[in-house]
Structure 1
Amino acid sequence: MSNSSNTPRAYRRIFVTGNWLPDNTAVGAYWNGTMWNGFPVPMFTREDGDGLCAVMPNLVYVERRQAFLFDEDQQVEWYRPSIAVVDGKEQHLYAIGDSWCWQFADYADDPNVPKWLTGSYLQLHLRPSVRAWIQELARANGQSVEHHAEFLLACFCEERRDGRPKFDLSGFEATASRAQHATPISVGDAVRVRRGPWLKIVDAVLSLVAAEDGGEPSRLSREMFAETVLDGLARELGGVA
């Protein structure tokens, strides 16, 4: 059987699995329609690749080479990054296992599937009305709810940082205060949001909050902060009560 490839299209977010992964394990990736012998050829971000490393002992990220290394039974493969344009922005993507038999994960949207790769996603709980607002926007833009929620979080962080000095996080003070006093949502609709560069800003804000509290452990988590951001956007932009 010969290799085959569709005409590349714009990258979109998908979820893939393989029979070498633990049962019911799915991982996020980007895909532009390229196929190999009838199988999709996914492209992974660094965060997605780190999640794969957690369940594939023979796959590691080598910092000094800025590449993923697969080493099994004398088969050695290096996967170095290539630059791709995703949603209008350049990203480094890795073609990990570009000749492996990846399969689309049909169960990726099933909230009852427990084995999402830990470390690659945040599990957010949203009020049903907030999720419905995000879902409506996502459909209008041809995206998944998860992808559009990530887009909203990234835009929020970029806008609050725009034009400010590197260590000026004053644009996040009001949100951090609301998040600290928010009541955790335990029965809301779950949305899995991929970690990205925006999370580094959130971590910096959380560190600042902890420092202002004298270094005491804070109840404020990444998830609570992100949930507060999305809830606030739904109220301010979508008129959600």
Structure 2
Amino acid sequence: MNNLFKDKDGNLVQIHSVQFAAQGGGPLLTVSGDQFAETFEPAEWPGYRLVNVSGDWLDDDVKIPAYWNGTYWNGWVTPMFTGAGIALLAALMPETVSFDGAEGGVLAVHDLDSGDVTVIEPSEIEVDGKPVKVWSFDGWCWDLAE
């Protein structure tokens, strides 16, 4: 492995070790730059596919449609919800989730303990070469639902 790099000003730096963890969480590991290069190769982020997700706070038979690219956060799936999925969540959890799809899709999450309201802006993902408007809930623990 070439362990010599330069910054934008031309200053040289040398890699002595690399720290990494499994995508989605896990222990932080440290290896030499050469060992890392011998073991790993660059990877592309996986594409999104339609799945159903649920959370342990929802009834067992509830399945929320969402897009997912196979990545995790602390062992939990990281779904991206369309307006239809968010509208379903808002119907199931009206005290916690409010959604106004008519006004550009404003999603608000209400913390019942603190009274805080978090507004979540949409983002855009690509599915089958087309842009899709989605929302995500940072810090929520989702599972795949069969």
TM-score class, shorter-chain normalisation, is 0.5 to 0.7
- Match of residue 70 from structure 2: 33
Choose which of 120, 135, 140 in structure 2 pairs with 1:79: 120
Contact 2:89 2:97 in 1 (8 A): yes
1:94 equivalent in alignment to 2:135: yes
Contact 1:44 1:93 in 2 (8 A): yes
Shift of 1:102: 0.4
Contact 2:83 2:105 in 1 (8 A): no
Contact 1:3 1:37 in 2 (8 A): no
Shift of 1:67: 2.0
CA distance in 2, matches of 1:3, 1:24: 31
1:60 equivalent in alignment to 2:101: no
CA offset digits 1:1-52 (Å, max 9, x no partner): x995496310011111101112321111000122111101100001111111
CA distance in 2, matches of 1:87, 1:20: 32
Query: Counterparts of 1:1-241 in structure 2 under 5 Å?
Result: 4-5=23-24, 8-57=45-94, 58-62=96-100, 63-64=102-103, 66-73=105-112, 74-95=115-136, 97-105=137-145, 108=146
CA offset digits 1:182-218 (Å, max 9, x no partner): xxxxxxxxxxxxxxxxxxxxxxxxxxxxxxxxxxxxx
Report how many residues are paired. 104
TM-score calculated relative to the size of structure 2: 0.63
CA distance in 1, matches of 2:22, 2:142: 14
CA distance in 2, matches of 1:81, 1:68: 8
CA distance in 2, matches of 1:3, 1:54: 35
Could you say if the C-alpha distance between residues 56 and 39 of structure 1 is closer, same or farther in structure 2, counting changes exceeding 3 Å? same
In proportion to residue count, which structure has more helix?
Answer: 1
CA distance in 2, matches of 1:3, 1:94: 24
CA distance in 2, matches of 1:77, 1:4: 26
Could you say if the C-alpha distance between residues 18 and 11 of structure 1 is closer, same or farther in structure 2, counting changes exceeding 3 Å? same
- Superposition CA RMSD, Å: 2.3
Could you say if the C-alpha distance between residues 65 and 12 of structure 1 is closer, same or farther in structure 2, counting changes exceeding 3 Å? closer
Could you say if the C-alpha distance between residues 37 and 3 of structure 1 is closer, same or farther in structure 2, counting changes exceeding 3 Å? farther
- Match of residue 7 from structure 2: none
What letter is aligned with 1:67? V
Shift of 1:87: 1.1
Could you say if the C-alpha distance between residues 59 and 3 of structure 1 is closer, same or farther in structure 2, counting changes exceeding 3 Å? farther
- Match of residue 235 from structure 1: none
Question: What percent of counterpart residues are identical?
Answer: 35
Shift of 1:65: 6.2
